[in-house]
């Protein structure tokens, strides 16, 4: 058994298939009005819906390609999760063929992927060929660390907390991803490594795809205390995930 630090080979091809999204939607995103669906800009020439409001970081089609979730609208046809094909500081155009100019307004969010991390003992076998999260040789529940993956309806029920990703940036000629530090408190843990995986797909698929294997080199421990993982700077040569 061994843990070898590596980006999962399956993750590399899945990136090119659009399976993982690290974008973080920030700024003000509010809707003040909805235009009735129309036009032929959607897939297969279907109608689209334009939502008007304030989208501070949506300029120059910055949200194009993201999946936005519209909730809380009084008119059912304005709710749902849709691909954004155009955006500006005041509008987003979504592939919603059923939008209507009626009812109270709701809110806008995203279905940006949720990434989680699991800790493993030295008995685990993890490397670049690891394709998905599995509980074999995962450390036991302790303190705020809870074993497991994702529950019915997409709720994170294991590993206590999701990783908070940062929006990818370009450092010189290298695209870099990172995560905020994560900690489990009141935990007695002995871990040799970890697996970062995409937990978002657990509610609709039987597996949660592997992203990255971390090798701690030696056993790292906490005794009824805090176990913390801190990720390197989001710069070329340092970032935990890099695309050269």
pLDDT at 106: 96
Mean pLDDT of the chain: 87
Interval 91-129: pLDDT, tens = 999 999 999 999 999 999 876 677 888 999 999 999 999
Percent of the chain with pLDDT over 90: 61
Residues 6+ apart with CB under 8 A from 45: none
Q: Give ∠ CA 198-201-205 in degrees, rounded to 5.
A: 130
pLDDT at 111: 60
Mean pLDDT of 18-36: 88
Ranges of each domain in the chain: 6-18+113-243, 29-110
Alpha-carbon span 101 to 92, nearest angstrom:
15
Alpha-carbon span 51 to 44, nearest angstrom:
21
Mean pLDDT of 208-235: 95
Alpha-carbon span 41 to 56, nearest angstrom:
23
Checking if the pLDDT of 55 tops 70, the result is: yes
Domain 29-110 carries which CATH code?
Answer: 2.40.30
Predicted TM-score (pTM) of this structure: 0.73
Alpha-carbon span 202 to 188, nearest angstrom:
27
Per the CB < 8 A criterion, the answer to whether 192 and 219 are in contact is yes
Interval 147-197: pLDDT, tens = 764 433 344 444 335 677 888 899 999 999 998 888 888 999 999 999 998
């Amino acid at each position: 058994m061994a843990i070898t630090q590596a980006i999962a080979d399956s993750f590399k091809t899945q990136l090119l298939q659009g399976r993982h999204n690290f974008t973080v939607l920030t700024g003000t995103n509010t809707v003040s009005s909805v235009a009735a669906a129309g036009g032929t800009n959607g897939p297969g020439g279907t109608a689209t819906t334009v939502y008007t409001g304030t989208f501070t970081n949506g300029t120059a089609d910055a949200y194009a390609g993201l999946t936005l979730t519209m909730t809380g609208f009084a008119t059912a046809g304005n709710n749902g999760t849709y691909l954004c094909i155009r955006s500006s500081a005041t509008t987003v155009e979504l592939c919603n063929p059923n939008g209507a100019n009626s009812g109270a307004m709701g809110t806008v969010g995203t279905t940006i992927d949720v990434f989680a991390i699991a800790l493993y003992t030295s008995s685990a076998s993890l490397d670049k060929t690891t394709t998905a999260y599995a509980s074999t040789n995962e450390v036991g529940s302790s303190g705020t660390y809870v074993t497991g993956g994702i529950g019915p309806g997409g709720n994170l029920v294991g590993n206590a907390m999701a990783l908070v990703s940062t929006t990818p940036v370009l450092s010189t000629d290298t695209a870099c991803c990172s995560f905020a530090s994560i900690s489990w408190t009141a935990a007695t843990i002995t871990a040799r490594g970890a697996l970062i995986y995409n937990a978002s797909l657990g509610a609709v698929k039987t597996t949660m795809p592997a992203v990255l294997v971390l090798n701690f080199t030696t056993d790292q421990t906490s005794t009824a205390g805090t176990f913390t993982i801190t990720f390197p700077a989001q710069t070329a040569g340092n970032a935990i995930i890099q695309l050269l």
